[in-house]
């Protein structure tokens, strides 16, 4: 069973922001030969920053900094985002072409949200551990 961090755990804001912005860039750079991660960077960075930041911030104060926990958290957050997009599309009687393509791109972003969130946890743990005093 995973141990929870105390609620009083403080988030190191510079390390958090550096890990937040660096993780998608590094994943895209390392796997650039696949082309998909680079394209995902262009389409998925905005939902990652808008919806992932609060989830990752909340998780950084309560969960151990591990790839698996944060990957699952990012995956769940993005899946909830996609669920609300689907509900919104069903409630709108005249969906536009842009909305359909946005939903398509959002569904493609599910695996990348998990990879980026897990990579965020590893970078954040590294930056916090080796912070100069």
DSSP 109: T
Mean pLDDT of 75-84: 86
The percent of residues above 90 in pLDDT, for the chain, comes to 29
d(CA 100, CA 19): 31
- Cα–Cα dist 114/67, whole Å: 9
CA–CA distance, 55 with 14 (Å, rounded to integer): 17
- Check the CA dihedral 84-112-122-68 and report its sign: positive
Tokens at 63, concatenated: 């969960």
Please tell me the distance from the alpha carbon of residue 50 to that of residue 13, in angstroms, as a whole number.
16
Q: Does the structure show a pLDDT above 90 at 67?
A: yes
**Mean pLDDT estimate for the chain:** 82
Query: What's the pLDDT score for residue 23?
Result: 92
pLDDT in tens, 6-56: 555 688 899 999 999 999 899 888 887 777 777 777 777 778 888 889 999
**pTM for this structure?**
0.82
pLDDT in tens, 109-119: 788 889 999 99
Alpha-carbon gap, residue 111 to 31, rounded angstroms? 14
CA distance 82 to 76: 10
Compute the chain's Rg from CA coordinates: 16
Task: State the pLDDT confidence band at 68, using cuts at 50, 70 and 90.
Answer: very high
Of the two residues 60 and 31, the one the predictor is more confident about is 60
Residue, of 107 and 66, whose pLDDT is higher: 66
Pick 49 or 71 by higher pLDDT: 71
Q: Give the pair of three-digit tokens for residue 117.
A: 């969130």
């Amino acid at each position: 069973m995973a141990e929870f961090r105390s609620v009083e755990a403080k988030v190191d804001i510079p390390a958090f922001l550096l890990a937040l912005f660096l993780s998608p860039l590094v994943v895209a750079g390392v796997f650039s030969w696949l082309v998909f991660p680079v394209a995902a960077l262009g389409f998925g960075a905005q939902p990652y920053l808008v919806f992932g930041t609060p989830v990752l911030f909340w998780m950084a104060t309560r969960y151990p900094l591990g790839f698996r926990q944060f990957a699952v958290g990012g995956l769940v957050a993005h899946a909830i985002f996609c669920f609300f997009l689907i509900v919104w599309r069903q409630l709108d009687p005249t969906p536009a072409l842009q909305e359909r393509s946005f939903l398509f791109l959002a569904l493609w972003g599910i695996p990348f949200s998990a990879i980026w969130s897990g990579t965020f946890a590893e970078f954040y743990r590294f930056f916090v551990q080796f912070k100069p005093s």
